[in-house]
Amino acid sequence: MTEIKTEQPEKMAMGKSMKRKEDPRFLQGKGNYIDDINLKDQLYMALVHSPYPHANIKGIDTAAAMEIPGAMAVVTAKELEAHGVGWLPTFHGLDKQMVLASGKVLYQYQEVAACYAETREAAYDMAELVEVDYEPLEVVSTPFQAMTDDVLLRPDREAKTNHIYNWNVGDSSGTDAALSASDHVVRQHITFPRVHAAPLEPCGCVAEFDAMGRLQFYVTSQAPHVYRTALFMVLGIPEDKIRVISPDLGGGFGNKVPIYPGYVCAIAGALVLRRPVKWIETRTENMTSSFARDYHMDIELGASRDGTLTALKVNTVADHGAFDAAADPSKYPAGMFGIVTGSYQFPHAFANLDAYFTNKQPGGVAYRCSFRVTEASYLIERAMDILADDLGMDPSELRRKNFIRKDQFPYQTPLNFVYDSGDYEHTLNVALEKIGYQDLLKEQAEKREKGELMGIGFSTFTEVTGAGPSKHFDILGIKMFDGAEIRIHPSGAGIIRTGTKSQGQGHETTWAQIVAEELGLDPQNFLVEEGDTDTAPYGLGTYASRSTPVAGGALALAARKIREKARKIAAHLLEVSEHDLEWKDYAFEVMGIPGKRVTMKEVAFAAYTNPGDNEPGLEATLYYDPPNMVFPHGTYIAVVDVDRETGETKVRRFLAVDDAGTIINPMIVEGQIHGGLTEGFAIAFMQEIAYDEAGNNLATNFTDYLVPTSLESPHWETAATCTPSPHHPIGAKSVGESPNVGSPAAFVNAVIDALSPLGVRHIDMPLTREKVWAAIRDAENKSPAAD
Ligand code: MCN
Ligand code: CUM
């Protein structure tokens, strides 16, 4: 594995925190979280939510709420619309979203009114007393119901239908022909249920208009610059009058990408009441404001008798809830779902997707997903296992047979991606060896003899990240490049700023390492600052694992720009021509004269004390527009034991071999993988935002929506292979989302493999004890001989 060497790798790897305890930008408060920020004369805001999933609003009575001591105001859609801020654009640009319910509510817990008060308690008391007169309407609780257009959910839109969009890619007729000519075709309906990111800290904000009328907006945002530009679009305030500051987020996982109604209401309150307004989401608000996934997919996978893949066809129905709040790039309404051909060679492929409105939370919001890659990866990896089972092949051998080979990169897929690099077979081999596959197979055969249910599940996924190349990718028209700024101080210390925003990914450490490696300086002496639009260069933020592929590239190139300037100063110091210098062992050395050298530290000092004829100072700003995406990959293997009597699954082992290209910091990468695997485990076995037929949300808190603790979580084994990205400045790919993208299929494949002697072919997630038990019982009832 290649990894970046820094002068003090041990110190960095031990995670000695370079982070300040208290960020000087937040000195008004006591800490760095949003709820620690308390401004003078601050008011609090609480929201009123609809108990109905679909209802007309006949009237809103605020008199009783205004009787509460400390009550300041109640705002409804009427007031917002009077000021032209009744609706806000969703990042995808295909839809807009009500800030407060206007005329009718479209999902349970939708925001109906905002209450402002002197204290937090008073604000919540007010919210209890706002009386809303609802007239319930017929509910559309599935996209399949929505298709009929019997109930039109969004009369505000020009197109009078619940159908939002159709997206398709590939060769439809060629794929159909290849499927009919195939020896064998797998046909399976597979659902990726609705799940939620559930960061430890919910969202929140503090909005203040200062004495100069400038908006200071403290907010939990993964993309502060996008927020600033979107606020300019919504409120019409020019960007010099808006400062967006994103403090420590307490986790984001995609949940802190969208602009939520609460933010707009807090700003509106601050504007009207001329006092700062704080809003902190409750857990239930966080659970009910957005969701991810909810894809209903039909796959057809064709193969010849020997297991050679011939064609792939996918038809998906997507439930987007009441508003299409996806933050996908504008030309990609279904995100990167086209990665559904995975790590395999398909001569023909076609993917089709139709998205619908339903009476549910705004949908398609990110959750550790790289824009719909999680759904795509789960689908193809699940289907490959079904095919292996049908053909009686070993699932790892079926994969190996169909892998894109190492020498085929750059590889053009039939669904319009050009994969940059990869060595799938090597990664698979490393994983098989490390897990001891042959021994596991032997053990499994013995257990099956005894009627015990042991399963081995694979996922050999390809991920796509690093949006992206500006000719293809934009959010609200803003191209998705990223900026980096580096300033080196006279002592050789420095400050690094990027337009990304860490939520716990450790940019404070890895950004310093990238720059330190390029310049031969001490990473401990770099201050890394993100999240303040007044100081950070423009960037599209941190999601879709784009930070290392895009901002990481910007940082390396900005550092190289500094090195070129430093070379001139070094030439002055050594009294030679800059062409006589080489960069060797982290210093400038006169070619052919070993020992005649100056370090970057010496150059930094000279840049401010003795620059010669050169421009003084040592700093650079650079915007990086990547030529392509990066394509990390991995092989994950789960080993499970299923209890035949109770349906309980025990994940006995889980091995993740990830290839993220050049590794910057192995410990951070391992932490990212552990976290993402734990999320994937939760999705596979316990999490779902379910609704009943009446549209009631059944998972609005952590007793109904389970988050695993260390007690439930399996032990994670990890390893790495390294295929550098050929176009990334340091060869790095990403890792942040890979474990969530790759792992659900490995878990489910393992459980189905365990149940395969009973003839079980597929169970949709989450694989709860009840569901698995029912599948075992049904299978045993069907064929008592299986016992
Ligand atoms: N890294 C590395 N070497 C590589 C690749 C990455 O050392 N070859 C390091 C990076 O420098 C960075 C970290 O690993 O410090 C993750 O990098 P990357 O894969 O570029 O992902 P991002 O920084 O863009 O993070 C986004 C990703 C996403 S989209 C979600 S969702 C997610 C995730 O990261 N949310 C997280 N991981 C999270 N981790 C925490 N603790 N909290 C979240 O909210
Ligand atoms: Cu897709 S969740 Mo992350 O992109 O913030």
Cα 209 vs. chain centroid, distance in angstroms? 32
Condensed to tens digits (0 to 9), the pLDDT of residues 301-342 reads: 999 999 999 999 999 999 999 999 888 898 999 999 999 999
pTM comes to 0.95
Q: Which ligand is nearest to the CA of 545?
A: 1
4 has pLDDT over 70 = no
CA of 368 to the centre of ligand 1 (A): 10
Cβ contacts of 24 within 8 Å, gap of 6 or more:
none
479 has pLDDT over 60 = yes
Condensed to tens digits (0 to 9), the pLDDT of residues 110-153 reads: 999 999 999 999 999 999 999 999 999 999 999 999 999 999 99
108, 222, 513, 672: the catalytic one is 222
CA of 222 to the centre of ligand 2 (A): 9
Q: Is residue 368 flagged as an active site residue?
A: yes
Nearest CA to ligand 1 atom 11: 510
Can you tell me whether residue 702 is helix, strand or coil? Answer: coil
- pLDDT for 10 equals 40
Q: Which atom of ligand 1 is nearest to the CA of 254?
A: 31
Q: Which atom of ligand 2 is nearest to the CA of 222?
A: 5
Ligand 2 within 6 A of CB of 581 = no
Q: Which atom of ligand 1 is nearest to the CA of 509?
A: 15
Average pLDDT of span 522-546? 96
Mutational pocket test of ligand 2: of 337, 737, 738, 741, the residue with most ligand atoms within 8 Å of the beta carbon: 737
Rounded to whole angstroms, the Cα distance separating 191 from 189 reads: 7
CA of 197 to the centre of ligand 2 (A): 9
Average pLDDT of span 51-57? 98
Q: Which ligand is nearest to the CA of 372?
A: 2
11 has pLDDT over 80 = no
Mutational pocket test of ligand 1: of 505, 508, 555, 738, the residue with most ligand atoms within 8 Å of the beta carbon: 505
CA of 192 to the centre of ligand 2 (A): 17
190-226 residues labelled b (16+ CB within 10 A) or e (exposed)? bbbbbbbbbbebbbbbbbbbeeeeebbbbbbbbbbbb
Ligand 2 within 6 A of CB of 366 = yes
Q: Which atom of ligand 2 is nearest to the CA of 371?
A: 1
- pLDDT for 3 equals 56
Average pLDDT, the chain: 94
- pLDDT for 125 equals 98
Nearest CA to ligand 1 atom 33: 736
Q: Which atom of ligand 1 is nearest to the CA of 543?
A: 29
pLDDT tier, 364 (very low <50, low <70, confident <90, very high otherwise): confident
Cα 487 vs. chain centroid, distance in angstroms? 30
Condensed to tens digits (0 to 9), the pLDDT of residues 401-422 reads: 999 999 999 999 999 999 999 9
CA of 369 to the centre of ligand 2 (A): 5
Q: Which ligand is nearest to the CA of 734?
A: 1
Average pLDDT of span 383-398? 98
Q: Are the CB atoms for 519 and 499 separated by under 8 Å?
A: no
CA of 223 to the centre of ligand 1 (A): 14
Number of neighbours of residue 582 by Cβ within 10 angstroms: 14
787 has pLDDT over 50 = no
Q: Which ligand is nearest to the CA of 258?
A: 2
Q: Which atom of ligand 1 is nearest to the CA of 367?
A: 31
Ligand 2 within 6 A of CB of 91 = no
What residue ranges in 15-110 does DSSP mark as E strands? Answer: 43-49, 55-61, 71-76, 87-89, 96-98, 104-105
115, 203, 265, 369: the catalytic one is 369
Q: Which atom of ligand 1 is nearest to the CA of 732?
A: 8
Average pLDDT of span 743-764? 98
pLDDT tier, 8 (very low <50, low <70, confident <90, very high otherwise): very low
Average pLDDT of span 360-364? 89
Condensed to tens digits (0 to 9), the pLDDT of residues 218-241 reads: 999 999 999 999 999 888 899 999
724-751 residues labelled b (16+ CB within 10 A) or e (exposed)? bbebbbbbbbbbbbbbbbbbbbbbbbbb
CA of 766 to the centre of ligand 2 (A): 21
Nearest CA to ligand 2 atom 1: 369
Nearest CA to ligand 1 atom 21: 545
Q: Is residue 115 flagged as an active site residue?
A: no
CA of 502 to the centre of ligand 1 (A): 8
Q: Are the CB atoms for 235 and 267 separated by under 8 Å?
A: yes
- pLDDT for 31 equals 66
Average pLDDT of span 588-594? 96
CA of 360 to the centre of ligand 1 (A): 30
CA of 295 to the centre of ligand 2 (A): 17
Q: Is residue 652 flagged as an active site residue?
A: no
Rounded to whole angstroms, the Cα distance separating 368 from 516 reads: 29
Ligand 2 within 6 A of CB of 254 = yes
- pLDDT for 5 equals 55
Query: CB under 6 Å to ligand 1: residues?
Result: 199, 251-254, 368, 503-507, 510, 542-548, 660-665, 668-669, 672, 675, 732-737
Q: Which ligand is nearest to the CA of 253?
A: 1
For every residue of 512-538, DSSP letters joined together read HHHHHHHHT--GGGEEEEESBTTTSPP
Q: Is residue 208 flagged as an active site residue?
A: no
- pLDDT for 92 equals 81
Rounded to whole angstroms, the Cα distance separating 582 from 589 reads: 5
For every residue of 405-451, DSSP letters joined together read PGGG-SEE-TTS-EE----HHHHHHHHHHHHTHHHHHHHHHHHHHTT
Q: Name residue, tokens 């790897």.
A: 13
Can you tell me whether residue 709 is helix, strand or coil? Answer: coil
Q: Which ligand is nearest to the CA of 508?
A: 1
782 has pLDDT over 90 = no
Ligand 2 within 6 A of CB of 369 = yes
Q: Are the CB atoms for 462 and 422 separated by under 8 Å?
A: yes
Nearest CA to ligand 1 atom 23: 547
Cα atoms in the Cβ-side hemisphere of radius 13 Å centred on 531: 26
Condensed to tens digits (0 to 9), the pLDDT of residues 58-70 reads: 999 999 999 999 9
With CA atoms as reference, report the closest residue to 222 among 188, 191, 256. 256
CA of 217 to the centre of ligand 1 (A): 25
243, 368, 382, 546: the catalytic one is 368
Condensed to tens digits (0 to 9), the pLDDT of residues 31-46 reads: 689 999 999 999 999 9
